[in-house]
Amino acid sequence: MNILTFDIEEWFHVFENHNNTNETEWATFEKRLPYMIDSILSLLAKNKIKATFFCVGWIVREYPEIIKKIDDLGFEIGSHSDLHKLAYTLTPKEFDSDLKSSIDSIEQLISKKVISYRAPGFSITQDNLWAFDSLIKNGILYDSSVFPIERRFGGIKGMPSNKPFIIEKNGSILREFPMNSANIFGKQIVFSGGGFFRILPYQIIKSLVANSEYLMTYLHPRDFDNQQPFKSLTLSRHIKSRIGTKKSLAKLEKLLKNFEFVDVEQASKQVDWDKAEVFRF
């Protein structure tokens, strides 16, 4: 099972951007999303591939025509929070409010229920598992926030990995589609999104995908943008953001031609949830 997803945010929605604090700052930055989204949508249409687009609420309000186009083309739209803040920096009340705002912005625009979610930076950790309560309470059926290895901005060790599983709390459930990892040179890495997808040669990615029974991708419009600005980013962050971007769209096209992909909702129909592992908290 190969699942294709995109996190719809701007190039400056990176956590190493120390000026990335609020909407007032964002208004001063060059907007790049309109330049990249058509290339992504055209590629998916050309290959007749479905994908889930996890959208930041601010993006929905800033570019309603883009989100409407994604929906009109038949792609699933989920929430990627409202203001792209790390979940563990928020109180439960703040997280709940942010989630509701993102859901409301999307539903008011496309008139469809939001049932999928991904936390910015995969920032649900062992210390803020209460976030799953909020997701369940607000009608989210599918989550893709679990990063099964430690990372700078999140990660939960000990969670089921490399396969969908169920999160249960007081009889209510959430169907989890975690990131998958692979052993490369003795280290577990998530190769199917962001920097590793851009850096690794295609033949390595192709081999890793071919040997994965379950694949969850996470790609951003900036992963394909080799003209994204330098402003406000540190040199190291700028290098991280730009490396591999010139060839990444061609790499994705090869991947879509070599393998079948589905969106989150389609993937859920392929899972035997009665046999899925259950994580209770």
Per-residue pLDDT at 233 = 60
pTM, whole model, 2 decimals? 0.92
Q: What is the pLDDT of residue 17?
A: 54
Task: Give the mean pLDDT of 164-173.
Answer: 91
Q: Is 75 helix (H, G, I), strand (E, B) or coil?
A: coil
Q: Which domain holds residue 226?
A: 2-280
Q: Which helix (H) or strand (E) holds 169?
A: strand 165-169
CA angle 268, 270, 275 (to 5 degrees): 85
Q: CA-CA-CA-CA torsion for 165, 86, 139, 107, nearest 10 degrees?
A: -130
Confidence of residue 108 (pLDDT cuts 50, 70, 90): very high
Average pLDDT over residues 195-210: 93
Per-residue H/E/C for 179-213? CCCEEECCEEECCCEHHHHHHCCHHHHHHHHHCCC
Alpha helix ranges (H) inside the chain: 23-26, 33-47, 57-62, 64-72, 92-110, 130-137, 194-199, 202-210, 235-242, 245-258, 264-270
Residue 237 is predicted with a pLDDT of 58
Q: What is the mean pLDDT of the chain?
A: 90
CA angle 144–149–150, rounded 5-degree value:
110
Give the pairing type, strands 172-176 and 2-3: unpaired
Residue 5's H or E segment, with its range, is strand 5-8
Rounded CA-CA distance 11/96 in Å is: 25
Report the amino acid identity of residue 255: L
CA distance 45 to 35: 17
Please count the structural domains in the chain.
Answer: 1
Overall average pLDDT of the 116-127 stretch: 93
Does residue 247 have a pLDDT over 60? yes
- Tokens at 14, concatenated: 């990176």
Residue 119 belongs to a domain with what CATH number? 3.20.20.370
Taking the CA atoms of residue 255, residue 257, residue 260 and residue 263 in that order, the dihedral angle to the nearest 10 degrees is 70
pLDDT computed for residue 234 by the predictor: 60
Are 85 and 13 in contact, with CB atoms under 8 Å apart?
no
